[in-house]
Amino acid sequence: GVVSYRFYVSWNKNAGSGTHSVQLISQTTSDVLVTMNVVNGRNITTGTLPAFYQDQLRSVKLQAKSTVSTDDPIFYGARLYYK
């Protein structure tokens, strides 16, 4: 079954000084699929899917934040691969 993922995010901190992070969470619950800190350029993380995501079709949403409220980062895109 489907048990592993690779998550790719293209990001630009746009001179921001905070720590930026993104996460994928379930559209209907608070279940988190993956969370990672991001820097300028390509960011990739891999891992094992949590049990509640394995072998299921789920809608997810992307959330992003910075530790500095005045940061204005640029999000170029994201991809989620799983197998």
pLDDT, one tens digit per residue, over 22-79 is 999 999 988 999 999 999 999 999 999 998 888 888 899 999 999 999 999 999 999 9
- In this prediction, residue 27 carries a pLDDT of 93
What's the rounded Cα separation, in Å, for the pair 17 and 71?
A: 7
| Strand ranges for the chain from DSSP E | 4-12, 20-26, 32-38, 41-48, 60-66, 74-82
Report the pLDDT value the prediction gives residue 34, as an integer from 0 to 100.
Answer: 95
> What is d(CA 83, CA 7) in angstroms, rounded to the nearest whole number?
12
Is pLDDT at 12 greater than 90 in this prediction? Answer: yes
Q: Say which residues have a Cβ less than 8 Å from residue 47's Cβ, sequence separation at least 6.
A: 4, 5, 34
pLDDT of residue 21: 98
pLDDT band at 83 (very low <50, low <70, confident <90, very high): confident
Q: How far apart are CA 46 and CA 58, in angstroms?
A: 18
Query: How long, in residues, is the chain?
Result: 83
